């Protein structure tokens, strides 16, 4: 048994690709070994900006000998079959083995030195490596056949036990030598074996283990902040990114001018994080502090003084840009900005953003004046909607598109708009995904809902529907947002009427399509809450139900009911009745009976007489539990009916009357939900 | 720590302290000259980036080795700030190095140039941060990094993969230094206008401040848009004329001219969002056409010198 070390050194590997590259390396390597019958459970991988490494422990020194047997024709088969088999295997008749009347070709393969297998595996892994983006380089790139790698490949360390595994790739020959930290130890270092790799590199200022670098940054940044009396704002993504940008991470705290704190904190955090990969800090009262933590890749001789100075300067330049945008934007009333939206095309078929804003304003106003969004002033809803996209033409959002909405909210508040209007502008994109906060302030709900309804209805009406994995206008997300807004706020919105208002035309086939799409999204959204999609179908299939709140209340009651013994049995009885009706093709209605009812028959009639009005009354009151309870009254009489009454009576009058009774049962159940849609 | 990097030949009688703007350029010239580069002069046309210089764009095509370094003034009319912003200018300088094929020690060569202009790697944090480059106008893309010095981007480092829609065979390495940024850094100044241009008291502002004021005013407010539209039409027509005559270099010049006129029209705010794509597409087609003509014109010679080479 021996350990194998592979290091693929290259010019700086993008941080975001390193984690997946480690997984790919382990996977491809294991697959290559498996081809020769070698297996190991002990593969560890490392990634730094400049190297991708793998250590496989406890590999045997040679692969086992294998004997491969190929089944041939029967000994009784015609000679042509045998000739064909001999040609195929390249053997002679004498070399075949006979067993149970069948020829077998047996090829003995001797075991191979593992080092030899490894020497073939390394180039194969490199060639097959699935980098998300790869490149050619150097003199060899005279041909496009030259090897591709994420950045130029600079070195290969391949050691099996203490011996070099010889191989060559892209003009790089494997060896035992690598380099240390780019600046602390640029010279060559020689690795002895897998067992001293990590330590030797550490001695040369390279921490190969990405998790260790991550911890160093997390701890160092936290301590740096604490030393300044501040608290670090944790950011897991930044930790990973900085670990992927350094081989010897040294977190350093820097400051910026307090005057920049006049800029909204989100802006400061965003520019620090996205542009500079800095952490930000909070003071003890939880406010953003005028400090940041950058992660250097060297242990500077002056303790990082110059590095901090330089980084402070860069951040100051960025923040003064942001401050400039902020102050400039503040001077222009949002209404003036909104006037410029007619220069931006929303979609070639749907006009400009100004057109969209006008539609949203109309719709928001309608949602308020119809009382669909309660306690919402229609005039304010219109005002908020008219301004909600105005920040798209501000300097700040031009620079940082992620801040759309948020900046509009800041500008509106600063320019004296009512607080509710500013809040509606700020949050009208919410909820952005499942798990995002769902607005509850009436004005915000009206604008957000109007924005999303407009998008879904307009794109559908223009024939731009999502299909398969393609949803370029994020309509599925918009639909989920609509469902979340309606349900969270218990809005009693007739969805059908709302979509027609949103399309702005008379109903056509398109509007039912939109309704189906929205119900479909509702199912997806409710799946997480454990609501059965077939029950949603069962209620929706009744038709005319486009009030999501009522629909879902009914679904909840239904789900609780079908979970009870009564519910399950009623469902079974319903299905039996429905099957008989279907088989008999019965379409008749209630018929008068002039024969003496059997007791079970009479009992069912009596139960229906009681249950029908009780359930209808409960549905009208939207007391769906009571409706279910009324249906439950039918369960025992139906069971008894099927046990003791023969539907298919020879007397046609009795038969017809009993079929009609079953139709009545079906009708009564359908008063609550279409049970035929329920699975199981 | 930096001992392993190649060092520049130090000019005699260098004054103490940080390099002035012109001495920084001269040092880079010396450095790259010593490393086998032709030292070219700026191209005498307005362009948005050093990559547009034919010594980069056209010479990146084909198999012939090519090593050159030069300063290229860049014009970005929309970046003008009337001389009021300390970092943004409508006219500034890039230092371009192009090495084809890309040498295997390109990163070390580059770091050597930073050391030559006075960056001390024991005190400063140099990082190679992923930044892929793409120029739709030139039908070009490459992979590489932006190089950070203490968090500031000082150089764009790219391995060209395609130019004019053609695979680079072989790949060229391109370094684009932001000269003003580097100088701000070396001289520890906050405003570009305060930079020492030479060692005798002339500042960058003395040379360029009035230029920025007047050019910003012209770019944004004065330039006659009818004449600019006319210029655009004429340049594109002339480019077609050159292409028909199978003259790729003049054709490419007209494409550059059209590109700059388009940038001026942008600064004047007379091109709508919808039209913008169409104009850019027009320039791209001209530039790609020039590259295609260049490829065609040189193919025989290249194939003779590099048997087996094909576009």
- pLDDT for A123 equals 96
Nearest CB neighbour to B159, from listed A137, A187, A301 = A137
pLDDT in tens, A437-490: 999 999 999 999 999 999 999 999 888 889 888 888 899 999 999 999 999 999
Residue B151 touches partner A, C-beta closer than 8 Å? yes
Residue of A318, A297, A277 lying closest to B124 (CA atoms): A297
List the single residue in A with minimal CA-CA distance to B108: A182
pLDDT at A589 over 80: no
Using an 8 Å CB-CB cutoff, list chain B residues near A278. 151
- Given a contact cutoff of 8 angstroms between Cβ atoms, the answer to whether A378 and A329 are in contact is no
| Preceding amide of A185 cis, omega within 30 | no
Would you call B150 and A307 a contact, using CB atoms and an 8 Å cutoff? yes
CB < 8 Å from A in window 191-250 of B: none
List the single residue in A with minimal CA-CA distance to B112: A183
Confidence of residue A585 (pLDDT cuts 50, 70, 90): confident
pLDDT at A653 over 90: no
Residue A141 touches partner B, C-beta closer than 8 Å? yes
| Residue B87: CB atoms within 10 Å | 16
**Shortest Cα distance from A300 to chain B (angstroms)?**
5
Q: How far apart are CA B191 and CA B85, in angstroms?
A: 8
- pLDDT for A69 equals 82
Average pLDDT over every residue of A78-100: 87
Using an 8 Å CB-CB cutoff, list chain B residues near A344. 273
Residue A322's contacts (CB-CB under 8 Å, 6 or more residues apart) are A260, A263, A267, A268, A271, A396, A399
pLDDT at A593 over 80: no
Nearest CB neighbour to B123, from listed A12, A139, A300 = A300
| Preceding amide of A431 cis, omega within 30 | yes
Residue A237 touches partner B, C-beta closer than 8 Å? no
List the single residue in A with minimal CA-CA distance to B3: A186
> What's the predicted TM-score (pTM) here?
0.79
Residue B103 touches partner A, C-beta closer than 8 Å? yes
Token pair of A192 as six digits: 């002895």
Please give the share of chain A, as a percent, with pLDDT higher than 90.
61
Confidence of residue B154 (pLDDT cuts 50, 70, 90): very high
Using an 8 Å CB-CB cutoff, list chain A residues near B142. 135
pLDDT at B6 over 50: no
pLDDT at B10 over 60: no
* Interface test mutation site (partner A, options B107, B145, B151, max chain A beta carbons within 10 A): B151
Residue of B195, B197, B183, B275 lying closest to B232 (CA atoms): B275
Confidence of residue A590 (pLDDT cuts 50, 70, 90): low
**Shortest Cα distance from A278 to chain B (angstroms)?**
10
| Preceding amide of A277 cis, omega within 30 | no
Residue B306 touches partner A, C-beta closer than 8 Å? yes
Please give the share of chain A, as a percent, with pLDDT higher than 70.
98
Nearest CB neighbour to A296, from listed B103, B106, B125 = B125
Nearest CB neighbour to A310, from listed B63, B106, B150 = B150
- pLDDT for A508 equals 61
Residue of A394, A412, A451, A397 lying closest to A428 (CA atoms): A451
Using an 8 Å CB-CB cutoff, list chain A residues near B119. none
Would you call A245 and B272 a contact, using CB atoms and an 8 Å cutoff? no
pLDDT in tens, A485-544: 999 999 999 888 888 888 876 556 566 788 889 988 999 888 888 899 999 999 888 877
- pLDDT for B4 equals 45
Average pLDDT over every residue of A400-407: 92
Query: Residue with structure tokens 């939206």?
Result: A341
- pLDDT for B219 equals 95
Average pLDDT over every residue of A87-107: 87
pLDDT at A346 over 90: no
Using an 8 Å CB-CB cutoff, list chain A residues near B60. none
CB < 8 Å from B in window 262-301 of A: 276, 278, 294, 296-298, 300-301
Nearest CB neighbour to B104, from listed A143, A152, A302 = A152
DSSP H/E element including A179? strand A177-179
CB < 8 Å from B in window 40-99 of A: 49
**Helix B21-34 crosses helix B106-116 at what angle (to 10 degrees)?**
140
Residue A204's contacts (CB-CB under 8 Å, 6 or more residues apart) are A179, A180, A181, A184, A185, A189
Quick one: three-class SS letters along A668-679?
HHHCCCCHHHCC
Would you call B107 and A11 a contact, using CB atoms and an 8 Å cutoff? yes
Distance of CA B303 to the CA centre of its chain: 29
Using an 8 Å CB-CB cutoff, list chain B residues near A300. 122-125
Nearest CB neighbour to A151, from listed B87, B143, B272 = B143
CB < 8 Å from A in window 53-92 of B: 63, 87
> Angle CA(A60)–CA(A64)–CA(A69) in degrees, nearest 5?
160
CB < 8 Å from A in window 168-187 of B: 168-171, 173, 185
- Given a contact cutoff of 8 angstroms between Cβ atoms, the answer to whether A488 and A438 are in contact is yes
Question: Are β-strands A153-160 and A172-175 bridged in parallel, bridged antiparallel, or unpaired?
Answer: parallel
pLDDT in tens, A109-159: 788 899 999 999 999 999 999 999 999 999 999 998 899 999 999 999 999
pLDDT in tens, A37-81: 888 878 999 999 999 999 999 999 998 887 778 888 998 888 888
Question: Are β-strands A153-160 and A163-164 bridged in parallel, bridged antiparallel, or unpaired?
Answer: antiparallel
pLDDT at B7 over 60: no
């Amino acid at each position: 048994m021996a350990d194998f070390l592979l290091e693929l050194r290259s010019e700086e590997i993008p941080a975001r690709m390193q984690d997946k590259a480690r997984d790919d390396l382990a996977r491809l390597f294991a697959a290559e070994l498996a081809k020769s019958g070698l297996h190991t459970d002990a593969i560890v991988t490392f990634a730094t900006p400049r190297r991708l490494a793998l250590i496989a422990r406890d590999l045997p020194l040679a692969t086992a000998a294998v004997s491969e047997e190929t089944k041939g024709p029967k000994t009784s088969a015609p000679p042509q079959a045998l000739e064909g088999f001999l040609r195929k295997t390249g053997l002679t008749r004498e070399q075949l083995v006979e067993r149970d009347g069948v020829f077998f070709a047996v090829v003995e393969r001797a075991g191979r030195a593992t080092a030899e297998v490894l020497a073939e595996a390394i180039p194969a892994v490199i060639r097959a490596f699935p980098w998300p983006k790869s490149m050619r380089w150097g003199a060899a790139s005279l041909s496009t056949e030259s090897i591709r790698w994420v950045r130029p490949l600079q070195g290969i360390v391949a050691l099996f036990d203490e011996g070099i595994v010889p191989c060559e790739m892209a003009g790089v020959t494997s060896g035992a030598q690598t380099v240390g930290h780019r600046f602390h130890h640029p010279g060559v270092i020689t690795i002895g074996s897998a067992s001293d790799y990590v330590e030797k590199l550490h001695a040369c200022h390279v921490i190969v283990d990405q998790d260790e670098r991550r911890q160093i940054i997390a701890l160092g940044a936290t301590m740096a902040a604490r030393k300044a009396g501040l608290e670090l704002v944790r950011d897991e993504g930044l930790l990973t990114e900085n670990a992927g940008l350094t081989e010897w991470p040294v977190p350093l705290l820097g400051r910026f001018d307090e005057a920049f704190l006049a800029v909204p904190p989100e802006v400061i955090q965003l520019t620090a994080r996205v542009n500079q990969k800095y952490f930000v800090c909070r003071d003890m009262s939880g406010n953003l502090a005028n400090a940041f933590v950058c992660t250097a890749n060297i242990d500077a001789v002056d303790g990082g003084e110059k590095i901090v100075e330089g980084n402070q300067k860069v951040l100051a330049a960025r923040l003064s840009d942001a401050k400039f945008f902020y102050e400039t934007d503040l001077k222009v009333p949002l209404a003036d900005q909104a006037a410029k939206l007619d220069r931006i095309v929303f979609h070639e078929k749907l006009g400009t953003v100004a057109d969209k804003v006008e539609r949203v304003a109309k719709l928001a106003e309608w949602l308020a004046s119809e009382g669909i969004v309660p306690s919402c002033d229609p005039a304010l809803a219109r005002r908020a909607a008219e301004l909600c996209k105005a920040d798209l033409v501000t300097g700040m959002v031009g620079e940082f598109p992620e801040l759309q909405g948020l900046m509009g909210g800041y500008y509106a508040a600063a320019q004296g708009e009512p607080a509710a209007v500013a809040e509606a502008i700020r949050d009208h994109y919410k909820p952005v995904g499942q798990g995002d906060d769902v607005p509850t302030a009436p004005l915000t709900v009206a604008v957000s809902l109007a924005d999303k309804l407009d998008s879904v209805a307009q794109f559908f009406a223009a024939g731009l529907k999502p299909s398969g994995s393609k949803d370029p206008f994020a309509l599925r997300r918009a639909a989920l947002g609509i469902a979340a807004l309606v349900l969270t706020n218990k809005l009693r919105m007739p969805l059908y009427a709302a979509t027609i208002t949103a399309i702005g035309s008379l109903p056509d086939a398109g509007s039912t399509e939109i309704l189906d799409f929205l119900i479909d999204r509702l199912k997806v959204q409710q799946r997480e809450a454990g609501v059965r999609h077939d029950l949603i179908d069962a209620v929706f299939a009744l038709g005319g139900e486009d009030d999501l709140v009522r629909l879902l209340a009914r679904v909840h009651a239904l789900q609780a009911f079908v979970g009870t013994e009564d519910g399950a049995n009623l469902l079974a009885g319903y299905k039996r009745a429905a099957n008989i009706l279907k088989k008999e093709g019965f379409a008749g209605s209630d018929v008068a009976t002039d024969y003496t009812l059997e007791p079970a028959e009479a009992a069912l009639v009596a139960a229906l007489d009681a249950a029908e009005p009780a359930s209808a009354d409960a549905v009208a009151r939207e007391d769906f539990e009571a409706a279910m309870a009324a249906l439950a009254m039918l369960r025992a009489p139906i069971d008894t009916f099927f046990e003791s009454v023969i539907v298919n009576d020879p007397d046609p009058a009795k038969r017809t009357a009993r079929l009609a009774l079953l139709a009545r049962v079906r009708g009564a159940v359908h008063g609550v939900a279409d049970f035929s849609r329920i699975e199981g | 720590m930096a001992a392993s990097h190649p060092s520049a030949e130090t000019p005699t009688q260098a004054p103490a302290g940080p390099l002035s703007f012109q001495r920084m350029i001269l040092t880079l010239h010396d450095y790259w000259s010593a490393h086998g580069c032709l030292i070219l002069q700026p191209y005498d046309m307005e362009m948005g980036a050093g990559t547009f210089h034919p010594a980069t764009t056209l010479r990146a095509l084909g198999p012939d080795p090519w090593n050159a370094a030069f300063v290229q003034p860049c014009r970005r009319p929309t970046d003008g700030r009337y001389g009021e912003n300390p970092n943004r200018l409508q006219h500034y300088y890039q230092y371009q190095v192009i090495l084809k094929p890309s040498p295997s020690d390109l990163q070390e060569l580059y770091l050597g140039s930073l050391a030559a202009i006075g960056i001390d790697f024991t005190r400063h944090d140099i990082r190679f941060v992923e930044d892929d480059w793409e120029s739709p106008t030139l039908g070009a893309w490459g992979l590489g990094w932006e190089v950070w010095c203490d968090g500031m981007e000082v150089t764009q480092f790219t391995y060209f993969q395609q130019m004019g829609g053609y695979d680079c065979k072989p790949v060229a390495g391109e370094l684009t230094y932001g000269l003003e940024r580097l100088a701000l850094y070396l001289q520890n100044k906050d405003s570009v206008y305060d930079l020492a241009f030479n060692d005798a008291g002339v500042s960058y502002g003395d040379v360029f401040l009035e230029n920025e004021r007047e050019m910003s005013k012209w770019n944004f407010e004065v330039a006659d848009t009818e004449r600019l539209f006319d210029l655009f039409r004429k340049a594109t027509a002339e480019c077609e004329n050159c292409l028909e005559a199978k003259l790729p270099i003049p054709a490419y010049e007209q494409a550059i001219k059209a590109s700059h006129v388009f940038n001026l029209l942008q600064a004047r705010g007379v091109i709508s969002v919808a039209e913008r794509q169409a104009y850019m597409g027009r320039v791209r087609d001209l530039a790609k056409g020039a590259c295609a003509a260049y490829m065609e014109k040189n193919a025989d010679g290249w194939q003779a010198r590099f048997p087996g080479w094909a576009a």
